[in-house]
């Protein structure tokens, strides 16, 4: 079983492509190698293949990276399932995970992130929880996004160490994490991982 994230950058024309592309590539490269595990295509779209239990956390990581640039955001769909044919390029591989990710992406509507793990009842629960979490995540400022991205990339560092890293005060780090709902997002990720483990 694998997970596939299909996504595209919202308002990508409002910012120089080189700027957001390098940020996106930096994050994607932490989950595997191009083009086997991830690929950019059609200018502002991308696909990432990874372990199912890492997918929700990776989506949040990607969002926090892109939200560092004012006016930009990212729409994503996570599909979990089997892989049928492997390929040298992730965009050429096939299987349930790819079908679910693509289908879910096509039906995102106004939602910025949804999942399809092949269990309708669980999909409904997870997607309701994600849509509520997005009420906070969709309003991250560039500062909050930067702090959350740094927290994700340095999970063992405490707030004082993150403050040193970002050359900010510990209180400003604490405030940014609180405003961004970081603790609640981590709890949601743990819930997602516990359900994935049961599949």
Residues in CB range of 41: below 8 A, 6 or more apart: 47, 91
| Whether pLDDT at 57 is above 90 | yes
Mean pLDDT, all residues of the chain:
97
Q: Reply yes or no on whether the pLDDT at 9 is more than 90.
A: yes
Other Cβ atoms less than 10 A from the Cβ of 130: the count is 20
Q: Is the pLDDT of residue 14 over 90?
A: no
Instruction: Write the pLDDT tens digit of every residue in 175-190.
Output: 999 999 999 999 999 9
Give residue 18's pLDDT band: very low, low, confident or very high (50, 70, 90). Answer: confident
**At 43, is the pLDDT very low, low, confident or very high (cuts 50, 70, 90)?**
confident
């Amino acid at each position: 079983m694998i997970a596939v994230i299909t996504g595209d950058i919202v308002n990508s024309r409002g910012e120089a492509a080189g700027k957001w592309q390098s940020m996106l590539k930096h994050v994607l490269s932490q989950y595997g190698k191009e083009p086997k595990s991830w690929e950019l295509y059609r200018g502002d779209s991308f696909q990432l293949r990874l372990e199912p239990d890492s997918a929700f956390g990776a989506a949040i990581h990607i969002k926090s990276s892109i939200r560092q640039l004012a006016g930009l955001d990212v729409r994503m769909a996570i599909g979990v399932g089997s892989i049928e044919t492997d390929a040298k390029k992730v965009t050429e591989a096939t299987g349930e995970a790819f079908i679910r990710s693509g289908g879910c992406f096509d039906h995102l509507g106004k939602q910025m992130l949804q999942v399809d793990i092949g269990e309708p009842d669980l999909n409904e629960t997870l997607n309701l929880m994600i849509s509520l979490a997005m009420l906070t995540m969709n309003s991250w400022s560039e500062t909050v996004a930067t702090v959350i991205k740094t927290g994700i990339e340095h999970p063992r560092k405490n707030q004082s160490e993150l403050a040193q890293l970002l050359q900010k005060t510990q209180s400003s780090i604490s405030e940014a994490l609180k405003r961004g709902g970081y603790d609640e997002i981590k709890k949601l990720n743990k819930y997602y991982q516990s359900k994935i483990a049961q599949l």
